Structure 1
């Protein structure tokens, strides 16, 4: 009954608003950086930690990116010229609907000097997006890929049986390369500016940083239903999702990989023009045990409460709860100090007891970002520190750990690490420059039988000890990662660009240098910096 009244109140509020925000920006650090001067302007109370952003909302704040670009080839406005450099491949704009179709190539050739190996990528993609009226927006894309990867990515793909963030693969070219497909899609419906409903198979992100301790887009897509409610300075998001565990034994062949359900709450409050605070909570539970029982738990359908008390009410609940917070402070215009705290388990006396209790499981993020640095337009910079204690995000039963498809739902390193990273970017007309430096220190397990807390797919019951645990315990490993990219933008509609990049990676004394050049498009976030 309580759920019925809450849903009814949504419909009532929706009838009192005429404008709707339905079009969502792709999850893209590049696009978000381009809008940064608007998002982090002191005059705008923008919910910057709740992604994906609404394009209409940014436009309302005056942030629509309409920077003039110099013409290519003397601006010969032929049909072929427009389709290649200024328009979508198919572009239909009508008062009641719009439709855009794009071809998304990613053709790259490269050389890994340390491994004396030629790398290449052959990706053909299509994207389809559009709107129906002002309330409905839809997006889908599909990519078919073959690639020979540099050494560390090749090793990861073979050990994890997935490509980072892109799902499972199969052998290609006699096992020397990989073949895989990738697809996502969703429908966004906004009956008013107060409500948005998003249903699909995609990713989400919560936070103001490059990484997230709460929910990141590092991993593979998952089916979800997300409801976002906005009222004044408050924005509340609840999402129900289904995740998969590739490592757990299957219940039955016809049921495929083991499933688990998750529900996520996030409440963001713009306290003032300078300060915002977000409260986060997630619950994970098994879709079915060995007998096939339980399934979706209807008690987690209630959209208006936090579930930690509900989870406790079941006594020794088998479910996995994670809580956290996000804070943002804008000390001056176009800049932000931000941070996150995630708590997996926590006892006050143990935290301050100094004995290294194993269940002091938490993650911390602290960062600073600024746009138009030194008053230079489109010169942006970010500095960020992340650390996660051992055994964080892991569980007694690995099936309900905070992960999906062999990758964490938080930071790509999982747990038991420290990381410092810096990213600088600059745009000048059609030129794009980006540089990134990462230093990470983490503790590996020296043997399969030991669990020092980095691998969140290991049960925390296999921990090495109850006390004396500390971050980067185990086999201490240093990672140095640097990447420089230079690109020339050909078509801003699908981010088609000529691009070259240089990556230098050093881990445990092993040096890898990788150079690549090619034609690339799309706005996806793909994380290879680990």
Structure 2
């Protein structure tokens, strides 16, 4: 079987504080609009596949929408953060972040979300940036999200919930990041947040769909090459809590990503990740110092210590056909045997997946009209392992695609902004195979691959063949571009059908919303 290769490591025990700056033409972590993206590569250190969470996202309002001669109240409601303090070598900001939604679900009646949040952030000197967010939530979810939450004990991307007034959820969410720029070539990040690698809507390598986690990241920029190393700690909710004092079982991860802007049109990124359990049958293992060196090749290290760790390799590539349009793709390799692939017998251990997509900003030369279409797929049992203590997951969700494995998906998204009006449409079609009659067909990465029933004849869609359709339309009026305060209305249609059921749900929602969080409810 395929084992590990490159990888570095260092420990982390964090609680960071997120960050901020002003929007440059960067690929922003909290990506509310497809427009927060730049297609072409250049020689100034811009790497589109590494979303930069150290940048504060904000919408640029058109010229003429000015703050001159406006009252303090107007500026605070429609132009600025609630609190802004600027000094000679520092700045600080803070805002209240409401997310108040009410709507109707055909299957669950009246649905609503009551979120009270806040954000604080700023800069100290020229090199230190910080940002922190907190949200307290109560919600009555649409039927499919309610069912997902009860089965997995989490709200997607937002962690564990507790019961609230019977059939409702109560949950909290915090994120934080500190970024320190050490000279021209290095950035150091300490955070409790998410990460994303790729040029698309989904990532088959590392996505921001799962809950936040603590990490330490080092980013080095040398010419047209960017090299990133990250060490992180994840939570395994599948096992009972070790004790009241220790909480859920832990596992560790180390990630390497080397991105090379070969030219203004072509960039290629090489990815590696290793996951290992915090404790095993011999007792507490903790952070493995063998993975401390950020530029070490992992395979020799792993072999020398007889490691049972889980390694994943990947490739990210992009070809920019113009300043605004890009073809992109990914390939993820979990395990394989070459003779089994060439044999074509569908061996279970050939665990791999991929992505191919196209995106364009300012489509047809219409400013702020953005479009994306992509296909994602993963073979059965990809990302799964002997147990959840070293699988590619965190807080009961995959670290890559939220659908796990054994699926093929086609995503189409378009959005458009005119002054303060924002429109967004999404159509997602997918096919996947669900488990049935107690048989593990390879979609759920939290199930051990030892529970499979056959070694050969495995293919995408095996099991209970299921068709998935997700259609959503959103219209919003932007009130404050600093923290994306907006009035928003949406309609969502979701259908999941197979030989055993035909689930349909139509959801209407309206609310006052804020923040740039990317929450994936299209599952």
What TM-score, normalized by structure 2, do the two folds share?
Answer: 0.91
Structure 2 equivalent of residue 479 of structure 1: 468
Q: 1:335 aligns with which of 277, 301, 325?
A: 325
3-state DSSP of counterpart to 2:302? helix
- The total of aligned residue pairs comes to 499
Q: CA–CA distance in 1 between the matches of 2:81 and 2:45?
A: 32
Structure 2 equivalent of residue 34 of structure 1: 35
Q: Unpaired segments of 5 or more residues in structure 1?
A: 1-5, 8-20, 59-63
Q: 1:282 aligns with which of 273, 279, 290?
A: 273
Q: CA–CA distance in 1 between the matches of 2:327 and 2:44?
A: 16
Structure 2 equivalent of residue 379 of structure 1: 369
Q: For residues 59-92 of structure 1, give each alpha carbon's deviation from its aligned partner in whole angstroms, at most 9, with x where no partner exists.
A: xxxxx964426659x9871111111111100001
CA drift at 1:226: 0.4
Q: CA–CA distance in 1 between the matches of 2:515 and 2:20?
A: 20
Q: For residues 234-266 of structure 1, give each alpha carbon's deviation from its aligned partner in whole angstroms, at most 9, with x where no partner exists.
A: 000000000010011333332110000100000
3-state DSSP of counterpart to 2:283? coil
Q: CA–CA distance in 2 between the matches of 1:322 and 1:300?
A: 15
3-state DSSP of counterpart to 1:398? coil
Q: For residues 467-497 of structure 1, give each alpha carbon's deviation from its aligned partner in whole angstroms, at most 9, with x where no partner exists.
A: 1100110000010000000000000011000
Residues 1:55 and 1:220: Cα distance change in structure 2 (over 3 Å):
closer
Q: 1:410 aligns with which of 400, 407, 422?
A: 400
Q: CA–CA distance in 1 between the matches of 2:53 and 2:250?
A: 29
Compare the two structures and name the one with the higher helix fraction: 1
Structure 1 equivalent of residue 289 of structure 2: 298
CA drift at 1:115: 1.5
Q: CA–CA distance in 1 between the matches of 2:375 and 2:191?
A: 32
3-state DSSP of counterpart to 1:153? helix
CA drift at 1:227: 0.4
Q: How does 1:299-314 map to 2 (within 5 A)?
A: 299-314=290-305
Residues 1:471 and 1:405: Cα distance change in structure 2 (over 3 Å):
same
RMSD, aligned α-carbons: 2.2
Structure 1 equivalent of residue 350 of structure 2: 360
2:20–2:131 CA contact under 8 A, matched in 1: no
Q: How does 1:64-103 map to 2 (within 5 A)?
A: 66-68=60-62, 71=65, 77-103=70-96
1:22–1:196 CA contact under 8 A, matched in 2: no
Q: Does 1:167 align with 2:169?
A: no
Q: For residues 195-220 of structure 1, give each alpha carbon's deviation from its aligned partner in whole angstroms, at most 9, with x where no partner exists.
A: 00000211100000100000000000
2:360–2:372 CA contact under 8 A, matched in 1: yes
1:22–1:189 CA contact under 8 A, matched in 2: no
Structure 2 equivalent of residue 118 of structure 1: 110
CA drift at 1:55: 4.2
Higher RCO (Cα < 8 Å, 6 or more apart): 2
Q: Does 1:157 align with 2:187?
A: no
1:69–1:429 CA contact under 8 A, matched in 2: no
3-state DSSP of counterpart to 1:82? helix
3-state DSSP of counterpart to 1:254? coil
Structure 2 equivalent of residue 451 of structure 1: 440
Q: CA–CA distance in 1 between the matches of 2:261 and 2:21?
A: 22
Q: CA–CA distance in 2 between the matches of 1:146 and 1:135?
A: 37
Structure 2 equivalent of residue 47 of structure 1: 47
Q: CA–CA distance in 1 between the matches of 2:304 and 2:88?
A: 52
1:437–1:482 CA contact under 8 A, matched in 2: yes
Q: Does 1:132 align with 2:121?
A: no
Structure 2 equivalent of residue 18 of structure 1: none
Q: For residues 424-459 of structure 1, give each alpha carbon's deviation from its aligned partner in whole angstroms, at most 9, with x where no partner exists.
A: 0111010000000000111000023x1110111111
Residues 1:116 and 1:294: Cα distance change in structure 2 (over 3 Å):
closer
1:202–1:221 CA contact under 8 A, matched in 2: yes
Q: For residues 363-398 of structure 1, give each alpha carbon's deviation from its aligned partner in whole angstroms, at most 9, with x where no partner exists.
A: 100000011111111111000000000000001122
Structure 2 equivalent of residue 226 of structure 1: 217
Q: 1:499 aligns with which of 488, 501, 515?
A: 488
Q: CA–CA distance in 2 between the matches of 1:385 and 1:172?
A: 38
1:42–1:334 CA contact under 8 A, matched in 2: no
CA drift at 1:309: 3.0
Residues 1:22 and 1:312: Cα distance change in structure 2 (over 3 Å):
farther
CA drift at 1:291: 5.2
Q: CA–CA distance in 1 between the matches of 2:282 and 2:189?
A: 33
Q: For residues 272-313 of structure 1, give each alpha carbon's deviation from its aligned partner in whole angstroms, at most 9, with x where no partner exists.
A: 110000000011111112553221100101011231332233
Q: Does 1:178 align with 2:169?
A: yes
Q: CA–CA distance in 2 between the matches of 1:217 and 1:48?
A: 15
2:32–2:517 CA contact under 8 A, matched in 1: no
Q: For residues 171-206 of structure 1, give each alpha carbon's deviation from its aligned partner in whole angstroms, at most 9, with x where no partner exists.
A: 112x22111111111111111131000002111000
Residues 1:24 and 1:236: Cα distance change in structure 2 (over 3 Å):
farther
Q: Unpaired segments of 5 or more residues in structure 2?
A: 1-7, 10-18
CA drift at 1:333: 2.3
